[in-house]
Amino acid sequence: MAKKIESLRGMEDILPGEVEKWQWLESKAHQFFGAWNFDEIRTPIVEYTDLFSRSIGETTDIVHKEMYTFEDRGGRSLTMRPEMTASVARAVIQNNLLRNGASPNLYYIGPMFRAERPQAGRKRQFHQIGAEIVNEGGVDADLHIIRSAYYFLKSLNLQDVKIKLNDLTIISSSAGSTIREKLRSYFESHKDKLDKDSLYRLDKNVLRIFDSKAPEMQAVIDEAPWEDIAPLSDDFKMLMTRLEADGIPCELNRRLVRGLDYYTGCVFEITSSGLGAQDALAGGGRYDGLYEELGGPKSPCTGFSIGMERLMLALTNNEPSLEQQVSCGLVYLAPFSDDLEVASQAESLAREAARKLKSIGLDAVNGGLQKSLSNHLKRAGKRNARCVLMIGADEVASGQWQLRWMEEQTQETVKAGDLLITLLRKIRGTELL
């Protein structure tokens, strides 16, 4: 027998049964970011390597160790995108989206690639939902981007969302080189405590030492005199005050530097308690120099990306759970009969009904033909279906539907012509009609 070919480690299939959760999350993102005035952007998965090494930074873990880089047939160095902020910048500059001083608000959903060691919540192909406010400086834009990340997660009913913030404004200013030098001499004087990666970063880019997750590095990082030498900017203090006034739970963390070189101001990470070791659900911040770095005009920007795998994990451990949310409006179609002729009619009625329900935006699943109804009811219960549309011999003969509401444990007979309106009214509420 021929040897089976398997998918690459850390790059996973999303199969039927799972894919519905992805579709649900994607549609929530389209709805939310559309309503918040972000326009969707899609960029190629493969870009010139230079795009990422120049923007993310040569000494970052991503560029140094994690990129999927290869030479194409023409001898060009190409990379599978490890993130999308750089790709969005490239696309905005290339397509001249900043003409007449425009400031596009953009969002994206898609796969990214990083050769990290796979574990729960850490994949080599993973997916992000992200948003970028391009060409807008100031506290208002920072506030808007953090609010949009926070309220998007809240729109998914995610509990326990926390935001950690730090300010890289001073270190990115003209005073930055003095601060870096002070940090360098601090770490130099503790050289014996630095691991191999940090020794490399000491000379190349001292700020990146703060990215280290190695347990043995944490004490020396904690002791770094960061607070004394890099005070918070007034804008950042105002941002914190306004976030607090909004009731958004945030916490200052002076050790947060966020693993990518392009940040120049407020940076933040969002965590959720259900995640375990990989608790960063999302990350982002202000990056005012990237567009110039990539040959474009000076354009202050801010943005964030949410890891979809981690978001799904957090939602799975959430109350209400992902499954409950995905199926809370689910209509389960239950064709059943042990009579061959009835069975085939019931099945085609179920298929037709599923198509119609989906066409008006309801979630519907066809349970497939069964000999008896009880199997269907068990399966519908497992999927947390809102209701079951029973299609047996009586329904086929009468052209009327039997509809069972699972939570209420009630049943009603609905005329064929009234089915869609009845379901819409009960599942979506009358205001949408």
Cα–Cα dist 419/431, whole Å: 18
Q: Taking CB under 6 A as the rule, does residue 123 contact ligand HAM?
A: yes
8-state DSSP, 33: H
- Token pair 């970052």 is found at 60
- Token pair 């911040």 is found at 285
Cα–Cα dist 265/59, whole Å: 19
Q: Taking CB under 6 A as the rule, does residue 335 contact ligand HAM?
A: no
The residue ranges of DSSP E strands in 214-361, in sequence order, are 250-252, 266-272, 280-286, 301-307, 331-335
User: Judged by CB, which is closer to ligand HAM: 107, or 332?
Assistant: 107
User: Judged by CB, which is closer to ligand HAM: 127, or 376?
Assistant: 127
Q: Taking CB under 6 A as the rule, does residue 268 contact ligand HAM?
A: no
Instruction: Kindly state the tokens that stand for 271.
Output: 């965590």
User: Judged by CB, which is closer to ligand HAM: 126, or 332?
Assistant: 126
- Total of chain residues touching ligand HAM, rule CB under 6 A: 24
Instruction: Kindly state the tokens that stand for 37.
Output: 């005035």
Q: Taking CB under 6 A as the rule, does residue 83 contact ligand HAM?
A: yes
Q: Taking CB under 6 A as the rule, does residue 370 contact ligand HAM?
A: no
Q: Contacting ligand HAM (CB under 6 A), which of 57, 104, 274, 283? A: 283
Stretch that binds ligand HAM, among 155-163, 301-309, 383-391, 406-414 (CB under 6 A): 301-309
Stretch that binds ligand HAM, among 119-127, 165-173, 345-353, 395-403 (CB under 6 A): 119-127
- Nearest Cα neighbor of 397 from 355, 351, 337, 353 is 337
Q: Taking CB under 6 A as the rule, does residue 310 contact ligand HAM?
A: yes
Are the CB atoms for 146 and 206 separated by under 8 Å?
no
- Nearest Cα neighbor of 369 from 387, 395, 349 is 349
**Nearest-5° Cα angle at 376, 344 to 321:** 135
Stretch that binds ligand HAM, among 44-52, 115-123, 181-189, 325-333 (CB under 6 A): 115-123
Q: Contacting ligand HAM (CB under 6 A), which of 122, 182, 193, 428? A: 122
Length of the chain: 433
Q: Contacting ligand HAM (CB under 6 A), which of 284, 335, 367, 392? A: 284
> In this structure, how many other beta carbons lie within 10 angstroms of the beta carbon of residue 89?
26
Q: Taking CB under 6 A as the rule, does residue 116 contact ligand HAM?
A: yes
Q: Taking CB under 6 A as the rule, does residue 144 contact ligand HAM?
A: no
- By CB under 6 A, name the binding residues for ligand HAM: 83, 85, 114, 116, 121-123, 126, 128, 130, 132, 259, 280-285, 303-305, 307, 309-310
